[in-house]
Homo-oligomer: A and B are copies of this chain.
Amino acid sequence: MIAPVTADRLVKVTSQEYVAAARPDAEVTVVTLDKGPASIESRYEESLAAPGVVAKAVQAEKEGVQAVISECMGDPGVDAAREMVTIPVIGPAETSMHIAAMLGHRFSVVTILDRLIPALHDRATKTGLTGQLASIRAIGIPVLELDDHARLLRALIDQSVKAVEEDGAHVIILGCTGMAGLAREVEKGLKKRGIGDVPVIDPGILALKIAEALADMGLSHSKRTYPFPPQKEIIGY
């Protein structure tokens, strides 16, 4: 699992969630990038993170890892990395939108900042699932402040309630992998507010479980869609 950031402290807590969620026979490692932004809150930062994600994916495959996850809701570097390896490369945004579309009539994504909405919407457009997208909402808390757990949870529940009542969401996707481990708590919060029938998806953990499933089946991305790039001179990487 590749956390496409350079700030190690961001992945400390979430790493534990991933290890806890993995099957007993699955080994999960979370690595951060050598080069790139401290956190990802823009397409600019995604573009800086992508080359590092690819490098880590290539290295992981060499080390015998069976699947990698670009652990960020921007799915940074996912398409590029799929070209460079043959093991599955999972994007949490893409994966959680597909599974959410299977679980209910319409889903909403509750992300951190308004500024991320267009890029998340583009991702939904790419998957073809905009017809099932009820809304994308933001809680207004930047990544580096997500460790105020009570404030985060309250904001997530508030926006999830609005997504259900005002936008018609039947499923909620947590919109930042930095929220890993909170899905059940948000479900409980919704229940207290009278909404006991809406599942909440933790996209990083879902990505992990789908990675397990694909690895079990020996399924990976189509190399017809993601062929190896031609060999050529590359400067500076």
- Is there contact, CB below 8 Å, between B36 and A235? yes
- Is there contact, CB below 8 Å, between A47 and B44? no
In the complex, how many angstroms separate the beta carbon of A114 from the nearest chain B beta carbon? 9
The interface residues of chain B lying within 8 Å CB-to-CB of A210 are 99, 210, 213
Q: Which A2-53 residues have C-beta < 8 A from chain B?
A: 6-7, 21, 23-25, 33-39, 41-48, 50-51
The answer to whether the Cβ of A154 comes within 8 Å of any Cβ in the partner chain is: no
- Candidate in A46, A98, A129, A142 with the most chain B CB atoms within 10 angstroms: A98
The interface residues of chain B lying within 8 Å CB-to-CB of A24 are 25
Residue of B at shortest CB range from A195? B224
The answer to whether the Cβ of A150 comes within 8 Å of any Cβ in the partner chain is: no
Residue of B at shortest CB range from A115? B227
Which of B25, B38, B101, B202 lies in contact with A232, CB distance below 8 A? B38
Q: Which A203-223 residues have C-beta < 8 A from chain B?
A: 205-206, 209-210, 212-214, 216-223
The answer to whether the Cβ of A64 comes within 8 Å of any Cβ in the partner chain is: no
Residue of B at shortest CB range from A53? B47
The interface residues of chain B lying within 8 Å CB-to-CB of A101 are 98, 127-128
A184 to B220, CA, bound (A): 13
Which of B98, B184, B220, B225 lies in contact with A118, CB distance below 8 A? B225
Residues on A facing B (Cβ under 8 Å): 6-7, 21, 23-25, 33-39, 41-48, 50-51, 54, 77, 79-84, 94-95, 98-99, 101-105, 115, 117-119, 121-122, 125-132, 142, 144, 164, 170-171, 184, 195-199, 201-202, 205-206, 209-210, 212-214, 216-227, 229-230, 232-237
Task: Taking A6-B235, A42-B83, A103-B225 as given, write out 8 further A-B residue pairs in contact, using a Cβ cutoff of 8 Å, ordered by the A residue number.
Answer: A37-B235, A44-B83, A45-B229, A47-B50, A48-B51, A105-B117, A118-B225, A202-B217
A-B contact pairs, 7 of them (CB 8 A): A7-B233, A35-B235, A37-B233, A37-B234, A79-B119, A118-B170, A170-B225
